[in-house]
């Protein structure tokens, strides 16, 4: 009997209530210290071979017979009305098949109706104007040059603070403030809290616009097989793309197949449907041939999402003993020209510390720039930088150790709901991190050797990562005793297939070599959620375990009857059936061959999260830096990152996630920033030459630590998400280490040499005054 329940789920700091169907046996987590054979082990990736041989076919690698290419003409103006579009010359070029403009394609609403796939108005430099379909990419480029567009330039605004001023040019007729009002959260009374405090600290922190720069750009290959649309899409959610495409093109769900077998990185930028997907689908239908549209690196950096800038006015009040009495955050964040929902910049302020009086007020502002999208730990990376920087300033004023003030304010229960945590390993993370970086007894601040200054800093991390329903999986047992896991999830590079195979191997008592995993295809596996919000494993993993359990139960049913022995005496271990009632060993293969091609199919559904407890992930990072006072160069010598995401299924893939998160956090903290010419609205560094992502030479020593304690309350694996937590506290920890080294604080990211030198010169001015 199927059960329909109402449950609350969390996604990137926001809560949703939904009905879900659950089925299958409830299993409880393996207890701590259980003797597990596959789970918790360092397993190499089951798809490693495809990836090191170049055989893994990313969207970008799909080549179909008769396939043609699409290329998008983009606006050179930040805000303009399109007048005439002359496409005749382009259409006459040999090899050009069609030119799509707003005049000749259906007016399909896009981004919750904010605009259309192709539109008469363009709202940022890079907004889509036309799409050329041609036999080859070079021809597309010739055709783009041959199209003449008359633009009527309109007033524009680039800076979100200016966009809030009265009389600012409007991105949307209703105004530039997302939803027309700030997003406000309040508990207690902040003014009363400040009045009760002994000390107040107040500062403004700024973070830059970050660009994802996934190595595989966004793109799609579309082909119509009769009235059925097949899409190879570079997406973090195949079922989401299926739903949106079916709805926009008015197709039944069974006529849309979305495939994502290998993903060249997404980091949140590939969460929702792209215009390139719709244009490929429309184009393929028009010309009757498969169409591939892959964005180039520049388009990727103009139009495929970004971590929006933030300006955070933050004020903290505390007692002399360090106890927080009140926190007030007023944040302005950019949204770009189109936005679905803003990143939760106030999340850390609301959740990290036990503080009775808290207010967060967030203004998400439209500007004539490329649309924002979630970017690994959206909002929390920015919010943690401000909060953890100001906590250090508070500690400094109170002459307390930064770690001590955090322990002093450690939340014993969820400060928002008052619920107890399902598990919380933050104190252990602090202790282990402090020990690895030799926090206690560290050198005093501002120790110098020549021009070099040394410092250490730390920061804390909170994030969701509970995962939840709906998520489904099937486990098939083949007649040779091998098994196949089927689920509609995606592997965005985290190693999803490998950990799902480990879970199935454990539950089926089969060796991992005998398990294959099929994901990333809406026609193959059952529904799985988006691979974002650190929710893949904690959502899909428990469903896989139940499906494997169900398959094993069916196997025992069949085996007992084939072998004619009592069912309750039978067990299966390592693919061998054992019972006191049988003398010689019988393999699963022997039994299943007896019933010819009967295929066992176990079904599993993710159970809802428990009510009444607060489920979060925690962590702490410590940074050791060397700052050159003459050049302003910040060199990170060592990072220690200790995170608690419940049980670790595969320490090797989790350590890869942690190292990768730290490196992206270092890029955000030290080098990465989108630069826009505010007079022209043009992005000046939409490429990898001028937008500085970390290289092999920028990787410091990174020590990764995992608390690795199963969270027995959350799901049948005891796991929580691990993908986003490691990027969250990195920039804050480095900022605190830099302040420790040079004795003056940088409150604006990234901490480039010019800012370090400026900060140092300001300190000298203060000292000589």
Q: Which stretch binds other proteins (CB under 8 A): 60-68, 144-152, 273-281, 735-743?
A: 60-68
What distances in angstroms separate CA 532 from CA 47, 258, 422, one per listed residue?
21, 18, 22
* Residues in 365-384 at the binding interface with other proteins, rule: CB under 8 A: none
Placement of tokens 């719709």 in the chain: 278
User: Which of 25, 724, 748, 769 is flagged as catalytic?
Assistant: 724
Establish if 39 lies at the interface with other proteins (CB under 8 A): no
Nearer to other proteins, 340 or 699 (CB): 699
Alpha helices in 130-174 (DSSP H): 137-146, 160-163
Buried b / exposed e across 433-465, counting CB within 10 Å, b at 16+?
Answer: bbebbebeebeeeeeeeeeebbbbbbbbbbbbb
User: Is the Cβ of residue 43 or residue 393 nearer to other proteins in the bound state?
Assistant: 43
Angle 594-599-601 from CA coordinates, rounded to 5°: 135
Using CB under 8 A as the binding rule, the residues of this chain from 247 to 266 that contact other proteins are 262-265
Nearer to other proteins, 518 or 659 (CB): 659
Q: CB of 689: closest distance to other proteins in angstroms? A: 5
Least distance from C-beta 621 to other proteins, angstroms? Answer: 14
Closest contact distance (angstroms) between CB of 136 and other proteins is 8
Distance of closest approach, residue 255 Cβ to other proteins, in angstroms = 28
Considering only residues 673-702, where is the footprint of other proteins by CB under 8 A? 687-689, 693-702
Q: Which stretch binds other proteins (CB under 8 A): 121-129, 133-141, 249-257, 610-618?
A: 133-141
Residue bearing tokens 């490998």: 498
Identify residues 282-301 at the interface with other proteins (CB under 8 A).
Answer: 294, 296-297
**42 contacts other proteins (rule: CB under 8 A):** yes
- In a 10 Å sphere around its CB, with 0-12 CB exposed, 13-18 middle and 19+ buried, how is residue 580 labelled? exposed
End-to-end CA distance of the chain: 78
22 φ, ψ to 5°? -120, 150
Query: Which parts of 696-755 interact with other proteins (CB under 8 A)?
Result: 696-709
Which positions from 426 through 465 interact with other proteins, judged by CB under 8 A? Answer: 432
Residue of the chain from 9, 10, 30, 45 that contacts other proteins (CB under 8 A)? 45
Please state the separation of Cα 177 from the chain's center in Å. 25
Residue 82 host element (H or E): strand 80-86
CA quadruple 164, 166, 170, 173: dihedral sign: positive
Residues 642-671 that bind other proteins (CB under 8 A): 642, 648, 651-657, 659-664, 670-671
Preceding amide of 461 cis, omega within 30:
no
Question: What's the closest the beta carbon of residue 43 comes to other proteins, in angstroms?
Answer: 10
Tell whether the torsion through CA atoms of 530, 534, 539 and 545 is positive or negative: positive
Considering only the stretches 134-142, 164-172, 225-233, 387-395, report the one whose residues sit in contact with other proteins under the rule CB under 8 A.
134-142
User: Does residue number 60 form part of the binding site for other proteins (CB under 8 A)?
Assistant: yes
Q: What is the dihedral of CA 498, 501, 507, 508, to 10 degrees?
A: -150
Residue whose CB is less far from other proteins, 64 or 576: 64
Residues 763, 741 contacting (CB under 8 angstroms): no
Which residue, 475 or 732, has its beta carbon nearer to other proteins?
A: 732
Contact call for residue 237 and other proteins (CB under 8 A) = no
Residue with smaller CB distance to other proteins, 511 or 561: 511
Residues 464-523 that bind other proteins (CB under 8 A): 492-495
How far is Cα 574 from Cα 157, in angstroms, rounded to an integer?
Answer: 65
Three-state secondary structure along 384-401? HHHHHHHHHHHHHHHCCC
Nearer to other proteins, 119 or 531 (CB): 531
Q: Which positions ≥6 away from 274 have C-beta within 8 Å?
A: 218, 220, 235, 304
Nearest to 430 by CA among 392, 454, 455, 402: 402
| # chain residues binding other proteins, by CB under 8 A | 84
Shortest Å, Cβ 438 to other proteins = 15
The only residue of 281, 344, 358, 634 in contact with other proteins, by rule CB under 8 A: 634
DSSP 587-651: EHHHHHHHTTT--EEEEEEPPPPPTTEE--EEEEEEEEEEEETTT--EEEEEEEEEEE-BS-S-H
Q: How far is 460 from 146, CA to CA, in rounded Å?
A: 54
Kindly tell me which of 13 and 433 has the beta carbon lying closer to other proteins. 433
| In the complex, minimum distance from the CB of residue 698 to other proteins, in angstroms, rounded to a whole number | 5
Q: Are the beta carbons of 288 and 226 closer than 8 angstroms?
A: no
The single residue among 27, 36, 56, 582 that binds other proteins, judged by CB under 8 A, is 56
- CA 314, CA 361: separation in Å to the nearest integer? 11
* Tokens standing for residue 124: 């940022």
Q: How many other C-beta atoms are found inside a 10 Å radius of the C-beta of residue 499?
A: 29
Q: Which residues contact 761 (CB under 8 A, 6 or more apart)?
A: none
For residue 470, cis peptide bond before it (omega within 30 degrees of 0) = yes
- Please state the closest distance from residue 36 (CB atom) to other proteins, in A: 12
Instruction: Output the CA torsion 670→369→270→711 (10° steps).
Output: 50
Tell whether residue 238 is a contact of other proteins (CB under 8 A).
Answer: no
Which residues within the stretch 570-589 sit at the binding site for other proteins (CB under 8 A)?
none
Interface stretch with other proteins, choices 315-323, 548-556, 604-612, 629-637 (CB under 8 A): 629-637
Residue 286 beta carbon to other proteins: minimum distance, rounded to whole angstroms? 23
Give the pairing type, strands 183-187 and 357-366: antiparallel
Nearer to other proteins, 342 or 667 (CB): 667
Residue 657 Cβ vs other proteins, minimum distance, rounded to whole Å: 8
Nearer to other proteins, 322 or 710 (CB): 710
Distance in Å, CB of 48 to other proteins, minimum: 4
Which of 2, 697 has the CB closer to other proteins? 697
Active site residue 23: no
C-alpha 200/C-alpha 247 separation (Å) is 52
- Rounded to a whole number of angstroms, the minimum distance from the CB of residue 576 to other proteins is 28
Tokens of 373: 């999208």
CA separation for the pair 252, 250 (Å, rounded): 7
| Unique residue bearing structure tokens 């297939």 | 497
Question: Which CB, 143 or 702, lies closer to other proteins?
Answer: 702
Q: What residues between 157 and 216 interact with other proteins by CB under 8 A?
A: 212-216
Q: Is 635 in the site for other proteins (CB under 8 A)?
A: yes
Candidate residues 249, 637, 675, 712; the one interacting with other proteins per rule CB under 8 A: 637
Per-residue binding letters, 77-116, with other proteins (x by CB under 8 A): ----------------------------------------
The distance of closest approach from Cβ of residue 201 to other proteins in the complex, given in angstroms and rounded to an integer, is 30
The radius of gyration of the chain from alpha carbons, rounded to an integer in Å, stands at 27
Residue 407 makes contact with other proteins by CB under 8 A: no
Nearest to 147 by CA among 68, 72, 69: 72
Chain positions 10 to 29 lying near other proteins, rule: CB under 8 A, are none
Q: Which residue stretch of 118-126, 131-139, 167-175, 595-603 sits at the interface with other proteins (rule: CB under 8 A)?
A: 131-139
Among residues 490 and 716, whose Cβ is nearest to other proteins?
A: 490
Q: Look at residues 326, 74, 67, 107 and name the one whose alpha carbon lies nearest to residue 197.
A: 326
CB 114 within 8 A of CB 338: yes
Give the active site residues.
724
């Amino acid at each position: 009997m199927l059960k329909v329940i109402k449950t609350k789920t969390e996604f990137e700091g926001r809560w949703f209530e939904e009905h879900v169907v659950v089925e299958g046996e409830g299993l409880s987590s393996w207890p701590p210290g259980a003797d597990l054979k596959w789970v918790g082990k360092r397993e190499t990736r089951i798809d490693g071979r495809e990836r090191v041989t170049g055989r893994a076919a990313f969207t970008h690698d799909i080549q179909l017979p008769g396939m043609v290419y699409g290329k998008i003409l983009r606006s050179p103006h930040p805000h303009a009305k399109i007048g005439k579009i002359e496409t005749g010359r382009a259409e006459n070029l040999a090899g050009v098949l069609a030119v799509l403009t707003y005049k000749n394609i259906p007016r399909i609403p896009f981004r919750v109706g904010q605009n259309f796939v192709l539109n008469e108005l363009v709202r940022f430099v890079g907004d889509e104007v036309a799409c050329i379909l041609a036999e080859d990419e070079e021809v597309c480029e010739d055709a783009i040059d041959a199209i003449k567009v008359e633009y009527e330039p309109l007033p524009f605004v680039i800076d979100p603070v200016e966009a809030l001023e009265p009389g600012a040019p409007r991105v949307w007729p209703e105004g530039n403030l997302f939803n027309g009002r700030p997003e406000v959260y309040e508990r207690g009374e902040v003014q009363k809290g400040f009045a009760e405090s002994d000390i107040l600290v107040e500062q403004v922190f700024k973070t830059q616009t970050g660009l994802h720069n996934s190595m595989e750009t966004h793109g799609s290959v579309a082909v119509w097989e009769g009235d059925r649309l097949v899409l190879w899409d570079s997406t973090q959610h195949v079922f989401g793309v299926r739903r949106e495409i079916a709805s926009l093109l008015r197709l039944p769900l069974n006529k849309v197949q979305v495939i994502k077998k290998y993903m060249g990185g997404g980091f949140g930028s590939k969460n929702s449907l792209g215009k390139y997907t719709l244009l490929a689908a429309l184009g393929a239908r028009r010309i009757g041939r498969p169409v591939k549209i892959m964005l180039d690196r520049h388009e990727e950096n103009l139009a495929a999402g970004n971590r929006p800038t933030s300006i955070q006015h933050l004020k903290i009040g505390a007692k002399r003993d360090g106890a927080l009495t009140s926190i007030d955050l007023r944040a302005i964040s950019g949204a770009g020209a189109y936005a679905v929902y803003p990143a939760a910049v106030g999340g850390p302020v609301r959740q990290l510390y036990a503080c009775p009086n808290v207010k967060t007020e967030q203004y998400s502002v439209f500007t004539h720039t490329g649309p924002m999208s979630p970017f690994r730990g959206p909002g929390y990376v920015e919010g943690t930088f401000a909060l953890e920087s100001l906590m250090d300033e508070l500690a400094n004023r109170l002459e307390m150790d930064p770690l001590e003030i955090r322990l002093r304010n450690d939340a014993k229960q969820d400060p928002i709901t008052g619920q107890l945590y399902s598990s919380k390993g933050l104190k252990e993370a602090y202790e282990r991190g402090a020990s690895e970086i030799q926090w206690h007894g560290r050198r005093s601040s501002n120790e110098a050797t020549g021009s070099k200054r040394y410092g250490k800093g730390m920061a804390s991390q909170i994030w969701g990562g509970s995962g939840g329903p709906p998520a489904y999986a099937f486990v098939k047992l083949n007649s040779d005793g091998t098994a196949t896991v089927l689920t509609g999830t995606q592997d965005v590079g985290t190693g999803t297939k490998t950990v799902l195979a480990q879970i199935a191997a454990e539950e089926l008592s089969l060796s991992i070599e005998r398990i294959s995993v099929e994901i990333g295809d809406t026609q193959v596996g059952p529904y799985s959620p988006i691979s974002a919000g650190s929710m893949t494993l904690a959502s899909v993993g428990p469903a896989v375990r139940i499906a494997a359990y169900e398959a094993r139960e069916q196997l025992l049913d069949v085996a007992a009857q084939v072998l004619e022995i009592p069912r309750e005496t039978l067990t299966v271990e390592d693919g061998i059936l054992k019972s006191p009632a049988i003398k010689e060993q019988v393999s699963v293969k022997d039994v299943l061959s007896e019933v010819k091609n009967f295929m066992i199919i176990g079904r599993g559904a993710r159970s809802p999260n428990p009510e009444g407890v607060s489920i979060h992930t925690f962590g702490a990072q410590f940074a050791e830096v060397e700052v050159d006072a003459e050049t302003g160069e910040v060199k990170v010598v060592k990072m220690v990152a200790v995170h608690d995401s419940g049980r670790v299924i595969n320490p090797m893939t989790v350590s890869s996630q942690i190292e990768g998160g730290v490196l992206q956090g270092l890029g955000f903290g030290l080098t990465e920033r989108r630069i826009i010419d505010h007079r022209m609205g043009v992005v000046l560094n939409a490429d990898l030459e001028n937008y500085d992502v970390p290289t092999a030479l920028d990787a410091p020593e990174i020590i990764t630590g995992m608390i690795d304690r199963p969270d027995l309350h959350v799901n049948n694996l005891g796991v929580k998400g691990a993908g986003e937590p490691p990027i969250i506290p990195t920039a804050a920890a480095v900022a605190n280490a830099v302040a420790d080294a040079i004795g003056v604080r940088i409150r604006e990211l990234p901490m480039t040499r010019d800012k370090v030198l400026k900060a140092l010169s300001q300190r000298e001015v203060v000292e000589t005054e």
